[in-house]
Copies of this chain bind each other. A is one copy, B any other.
Amino acid sequence: MLVVSSPSGAGKTTLCKMLLAQHDDLVMSVSATTRPPREGEQHGSDYFFVSPDEFKHMQDENQLLESASVFGNHYGTPSEPVEKLLNEGKDILFDIDWQGAEQLSEACGDNICKIFILPPSGHMLEKRLTSRATDSRAVVVKRMSAAAREIDHWSQYDYVIINDDLDIAWNELNAVFVAERHKTNRLVFLPEFVQTMLDELK
């Protein structure tokens, strides 16, 4: 389970898409949300779009691994699809914020690797947030302060990647994923594999 968080505008979505394209056995976790679908977003692949009542029901029934509220909308990770994917031996990528990352850590412990993507500087982030659309200055300021609150939690992550050059950042993110897969305690087939080897060497 790979958690990637970052302030909005740091390039997380692009980097996650590149990682998913590279690794067939890594799949994206789909969150449930109460916010309305944007143009082109698909129920079940981008989000599970649910009503506030449905969301509350999922919370009450302990069907969410983590949940958070951002700008008045609720977001959460349904536990059932995650458990299904883990049982199939897949790795799962979570695009969630620091609140979600913290809750997921508590729920799933050592099984999680948490990566934080930083922009190269505050000025650069401001530029990216400003040039995004025709948003008013007030909206940009709100986004900047939300970004600052997110960045403030960098130290609770296992890895930090600074996205200055996309190719370099992608290479680093991919390296973390490949390395994590080779951690001794994640290679569950190794004890048997080594025993066979030792028998062959006798």
Contact = CB atoms under 8 A, between A and B. Distances in A.
Contacts of A197: 118-119, 121-122, 125, 151
A122 B201 contact: yes
Contacts of A45: none
A13 interface: no
Contacts of A172: 178-179, 182
B175 A126 contact: no
Contacts of A196: 121-122
When all copies of this chain in the complex are counted, the total is: 2
Contact of A152 (B158, B161, B198): B198
Interface stretch (A24-32, A59-67, A130-138, A183-191): A183-191
Interface in A142-175: 144-145, 147-148, 151-152, 154-155, 157-162, 171-172, 174-175
Contacts of A187: 160
A125 B175 contact: no
A194 B159 contact: no
A22 to B, nearest CB: 12
A182 B174 CA distance: 12
Contact of A182 (B121, B160, B194): B160
Interface of A: 116, 118-119, 121-123, 125-126, 144-145, 147-148, 151-152, 154-155, 157-162, 171-172, 174-180, 182-184, 187, 190-191, 193-194, 196-202
